[in-house]
């Protein structure tokens, strides 16, 4: 299964009257590593921004059209109406909003029902990555690793929030998926994540997606299963990030969307490897890396990601002159822009990276203003979903499973 690279979407004005902001506000997430920066605004202001985007996301991207008791996340800007990463985002976002939204558990249960109704043809415990407007699996009905990683993580968060003694055993569901990921979406020899359960063939078995190297998720999988295999997967990707930064992006710290030669020395994929001409660049997949690495840097003491995201922060501050409005929609690994224009999936993740850099308070505050004042687009599920998850982290409401 090959996925289509996303197009840039324009922002639209936020519709009025979508929510009421709660009168109480307190960070409800995992305590951060000492020294972690936070935006220089009140907790109430941070929570209000989170609530605004969450309400917008619920109104524009959640649907119950796929069956009684189901919820599903519409991916209006992707190549199909529903994609696995969107369902994973929905599970994680909704679980983390427990305590702030009385519907959160119903949404989690409904998305899980949708996911289980659409199993991969290769491994029934994984999710078929794409469904059409009629809620039918299409394009081979196989899986995408990024979606399954997020689905499993979201269920671990649900277990933390509600326990697993109710109608759904969230922990058991998560472990079932984690074990299936190990079996079908990780190269057992190289310990790198594959692109999907279709990726273990001659053409793709020694390739990976850098945005799937989520150290926090892998830590959670090791904890949930007691399986040290996940520590090996995390350590291997941490080493690869440092290698790629040193050899291919010494001045920027940027990573490519796709990585090849994982069985020898990892290197950026060539153009048109899977999705398009920027497959070896910092583009629409790798834009998530400062967020995914950054959140591990601020939640896991002595994380390798701390130094890795500081490299990215040092470069992007210099490249933009400290102006978030100048962050572009993609770069070569040397730092030249590949696509022009702003998009939240490129801007917002740098805010998480900034939280791990003690010298970046002013930069973080500028990014906070940019992210929290962005007018979300009702057709941009990708940018909106990433923005909410970044706001969960910035506001202290992120949960490390």
Structure tokens at 134: 């009629």
Residue recorded with tokens 């109104």? 59
238 flagged as catalytic: no
Say how far apart CA 36 and CA 33 lie, in whole Å.
6
Here the contacts of 247-251 (C-beta below 8 Å, separation 24 or greater) are 248/333, 249/333, 249/334, 251/315, 251/334, 251/335
Of 85, 279, 357, 377, which one is the catalytic site residue?
Answer: 85
Spatial neighbors of 200 by CB under 8 A, at least 6 apart, are 184, 187, 194
85 flagged as catalytic: yes
Helical axes 215-225 vs 229-248, angle rounded to 10°: 170
Nearest-CA neighbor of 172 among 225, 214, 106? 225
Of 87, 109, 146, 150, which one is the catalytic site residue?
Answer: 146
Say how far apart CA 337 and CA 346 lie, in whole Å.
12
> Does residue 73 sit in helix, strand or coil?
strand
Up-side HSE of residue 194: CA atoms within 13 Å toward CB?
A: 25
Question: Nearest 5°: phi and psi at 72?
Answer: -150, 150
Q: What is the number of residues in the chain?
A: 401
- Positions annotated as catalytic residues are 85, 146
């Amino acid at each position: 299964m090959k996925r289509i690279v996303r197009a840039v979407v324009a922002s639209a004005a936020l519709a009025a009257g979508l929510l009421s902001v709660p009168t109480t506000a307190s960070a409800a997430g995992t305590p951060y590593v000492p020294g972690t920066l936070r935006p220089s605004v009140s907790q109430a202001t941070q929570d209000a921004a989170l609530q605004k985007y969450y309400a917008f996301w619920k109104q524009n991207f959640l649907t119950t059209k796929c069956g009684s008791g189901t919820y599903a996340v519409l991916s209006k800007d992707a190549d199909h109406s529903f994609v696995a990463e969107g369902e994973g985002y929905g599970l994680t976002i909704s679980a983390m909003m427990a305590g702030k939204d009385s519907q959160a558990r119903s949404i989690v249960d409904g998305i899980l029902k949708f996911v289980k109704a659409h199993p991969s043809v290769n491994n029934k415990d994984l999710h078929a990555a794409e469904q059409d407007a009629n809620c039918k699996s299409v394009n081979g009905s196989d899986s995408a690793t990024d979606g399954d990683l997020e689905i499993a993580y979201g269920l671990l968060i649900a277990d933390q929030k509600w326990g697993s003694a109710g109608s759904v055993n969230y922990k058991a569901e998560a472990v079932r998926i984690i074990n299936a990921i190990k079996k079908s979406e990780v190269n057992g020899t190289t310990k790198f994540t594959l692109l999907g359960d279709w990726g273990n063939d001659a053409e793709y078995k020694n390739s990976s997606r850098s945005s799937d190297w989520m150290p926090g998720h892998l830590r959670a999988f090791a904890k949930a299963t007691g399986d040290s295999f996940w520590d090996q997967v995390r350590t291997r990707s941490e080493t690869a990030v440092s290698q790629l930064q040193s050899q291919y992006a010494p001045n920027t710290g940027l990573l490519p969307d796709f990585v090849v030669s994982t069985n020898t020395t990892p290197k950026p994929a060539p153009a048109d490897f899977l999705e398009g001409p920027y497959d070896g660049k910092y583009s629409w997949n790798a834009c998530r890396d400062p967020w995914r690495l950054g959140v591990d840097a601020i939640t896991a003491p002595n994380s390798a990601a701390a130094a890795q995201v500081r490299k990215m922060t040092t470069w992007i501050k210099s490249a933009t002159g400290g102006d978030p409005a100048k962050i572009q929609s993609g770069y070569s690994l040397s730092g030249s822009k590949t696509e022009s224009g702003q998009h939240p999936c490129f801007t917002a993740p740098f805010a998480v990276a900034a939280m791990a850099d003690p010298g970046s308070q002013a930069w973080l505050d500028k990014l906070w203003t940019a992210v929290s004042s962005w007018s979300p687009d009702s057709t941009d599920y990708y940018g909106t979903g990433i923005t909410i998850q970044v706001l969960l982290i910035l506001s202290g409401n992120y949960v490390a499973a």
